[in-house]
Amino acid sequence: MRLSKNAKASGKDAKMKIGFIGLGNMGGGMAANLAKAGHEVHAFDLSGEALARAGEAGCHPVSDAAEAVNNMEVVVTMLPAGAHVRKVYEYEVIINANPGTLVIDCSTIDVDSARDVATMAEAKGLVPVDAPVSGGIAAANGGTLTFMVGGSDDGFKRAEPILADMGKAVIHAGGNGAGQAAKICNNMLLGASMVATCETFKMAEKLGLDLQNFYDISSKASGQNWSMTSYCPVPGVGPQSPADNGYEGGFAAALMLKDLRLAMEAAESAGADVPMGAEAAKLYEQYAEAQGQGGKDFSGIINMLDKG
């Protein structure tokens, strides 16, 4: 695994013709940052509103995915699930991209789909890279995402400066599919640690502790973790977080559930024993689906743990 330290500098050297497919909550900000960096971004989405926003941000809206791929040096996709990525690659990217085109999929999908589309792309002379992101909507808009990259050394070298124009860290995790594997493992850890953080604060409250005081103690002790110190699920405690905004914004619980389900599929495929991850998946399924809170930030699961 290698962390790029100079990608930002190298990203300023060459401006590219980039096709960008998928302008949702994450993709819209990412495409805008590529345009801001000086790249010629040809953007496509099924949503007319998303296309209009991309145009306002300096991208060139196009009428279909094929137009976003034709004669581009780089194609970036940011789509909801593996099925969407497979379909776009099979019917748009593979057919319309010139040989040698760098194709970067930033979606969070299952490892098998990532490897399959990479094999498909390589067979057509394209250079595939999977580069899922960490950081959420605010980081996508602010250009401070972390990219976990799977692909060949050459693919990573070519993708590195492009990704650096959308993020703060670009890390080579290994061959094709390794970026997805790293993202799934990371988010399983995040989901489980958030649940543990939430239940700990609830227990501290019921034991009569002042929660700010408990935060001051635990954030400097062995229980310290990112879910506590950077994304505290308790309103008014720690740095500003979605908890201070009624658990709106941030990383939706439905997306955390999606990632945990991908982690469970990967664990079963690899024969890995993940009891904590499995329990987190069950809890987020209850919160996001059974209780209908999928649109709330994933830290809002603290409210489900409150038994009064």
Give the pLDDT score at 13.
58
Residue 36 appears among annotated catalytic residues: no
| Mean per-residue pLDDT of the chain | 94
- Catalytic pick among 183, 202, 258, 296: 183
Q: What is the Cα–Cα distance from 275 to 295, expressed in whole angstroms?
A: 26
The two three-digit tokens of residue 188, written as one number: 């399983």
Evaluate whether 11 touches 147 at the Cβ level (below 8 Å).
no
Give the pLDDT score at 138.
85
Handedness of CA 299, 269, 171, 103 (dihedral sign): negative
Bridge-partner residues for 103, per DSSP?
75, 128
Q: What is the Cα–Cα distance from 167 to 30, expressed in whole angstroms?
A: 9
For residue 194, give every residue at least 6 positions away whose Cβ sits within 8 Å of its Cβ, in sequence order, or none.
Answer: 227, 231, 233, 256, 280, 298, 299, 301
Per-residue pLDDT of 174-214, as tens digits, reads 999 999 999 999 999 999 999 999 999 999 999 999 999 99
Per-residue pLDDT of 152-168, as tens digits, reads 999 999 999 999 999 99
